Amino acid sequence: MINTQPLLLEPKALQSLIGHPQVLIVDLSGPEIYNNAHIPGAVSLSYSDIVASQPPVMGLLPDEPSLSKIFSNIGLTANHHVVAYDNENSAKACRLLWTLDCLGHKQLSLLNGGLTAWNSAGMPTNNQAANIHASHYQAKTDQTAIADKVFIQQHLKDPAVVLLDARSDGEYNGEVVRAQRSGHIPGAVNINWIDTIDNDNDLRFKTANELITLYEDADITKNKLIITYCHTHQRSAHSYIVLKSLGYPNVKGYHGAWSDWGNDPNTLIE
């Protein structure tokens, strides 16, 4: 039963899973929010723990020893179904899910709408820290979910590959400069990640029909390999999970993203 949970989980469905020994609920809201009120039984994980940096490149996937330690500290095991949430637009929670997907950990769910939807539904919270039993999680990277600069350069003219730029219009067009160079990766299509969120429905994903139309109108179709990127692969991790929730079978995330591409004087840009 636990293994059949959907990638996108509604508050009522999560409430029924609280306390299940095979479910690990992870809160990425930050310690101040967590200490005030969180979903009962949830463990707190700092976003900074699941990203690494090699300035000026940010938002990299940490190495296997670091991830092993981080996930062991919150008691994660290979048998756990992880449910992630945060108190914002779910981008941090999605980055955790992408990270676990990179490790071949497939038992994953996102709380649709995060803490906003949970509170709006009148679900219970408390301020009691979870009782964590440290584990011995062994992180082993699976390249299926990962794209890097070399991979993208090899596929820039591949018609079967679509680059999805999840940044703002200004960043995509080069008007907003956040790296040594501005613009976008050649051929990339721009769908601002925020356009996939329903602000009138407690920050949930928009409906599947709305999202599929949004993507297919941009020629982002299920028969292609989709590579998502933003500036540090936080916003584009959200796009990654949106696509996976819609059944897109071949999706990769470019960690480092524009902070990697835009700070390299040798990469092509538009």
Q: What angle, 0 to 180 degrees and rounded to 10, lies between the N-to-C axes of helices 91-102 and 235-245?
A: 70
Structural domain harbouring 253:
143-261
Q: What is the dihedral of CA 60, 66, 70, 71, to 10 degrees?
A: 90
Closest to 217 in 3D by CA, of 236, 181, 189, 187: 189
pLDDT at position 215, please?
98
Per-residue pLDDT for 3 more than 90? no
Token pair for 264: 């390299």
Q: Does residue 125 form part of some domain?
A: no
Q: Which residues are catalytic?
A: 230
Average pLDDT over residues 84-108: 97
Residue 127 has pLDDT above 60, yes or no: yes
pLDDT in tens, 151-180: 999 999 999 999 999 999 999 999 999 999
pLDDT at 144 over 90: yes
Q: Looking at the structure, tell me whether residues 78 and 150 fall in a common domain.
A: no
What is the tally of helices (H) and strands (E) in the chain?
10, 14
What is the band of 73 on the pLDDT scale with cuts at 50, 70, 90? very high
Are 105 and 58 members of one domain? yes
Burial environment of residue 93 by CB neighbours within 10 A (0 to 12, 13 to 18, 19 or more): buried
End of a domain among 120, 135, 165? 120
37 is a domain residue: yes
Shared domain for 205 and 242, answered yes or no, is yes
Same domain flag for 167 and 252 = yes
pTM exceeding the 0.95 threshold for the entire prediction = yes
Domain boundary among the residues 120, 152, 176 is at 120
How many domains are there within the chain? Answer: 2
Q: Mean pLDDT across the stretch 113-123?
A: 98
Same domain, 115 and 148: no
> Considering only CA atoms, which of 255, 230, 225, 221 is closest in space to residue 165?
230
Does residue 133 belong to any structural domain of this protein?
Answer: no
> Would residue 270 count as lying in a domain?
no
- In sign, the C-alpha dihedral spanning 37, 198, 249, 161 is negative
pLDDT of residue 1: 53
CATH of the domain at 72: 3.40.250.10
Mean pLDDT of the chain: 97
Tell me the per-residue pLDDT of 17-72, one tens digit each, with 9 for 90 and over. Answer: 999 999 999 999 999 999 999 999 999 999 999 999 999 999 999 999 999 999 99
Residue 228 scores a pLDDT above 70: yes
Same domain, 84 and 19: yes
Decide if 126 is inside a domain: no
Residue 93 is assigned to a structural domain of this protein: yes
169 plus 249 within the same structural domain: yes
- Do residues 266 and 149 lie in contact, with contact meaning Cβ atoms separated by under 8 Å? no
d(CA 182, CA 187): 15
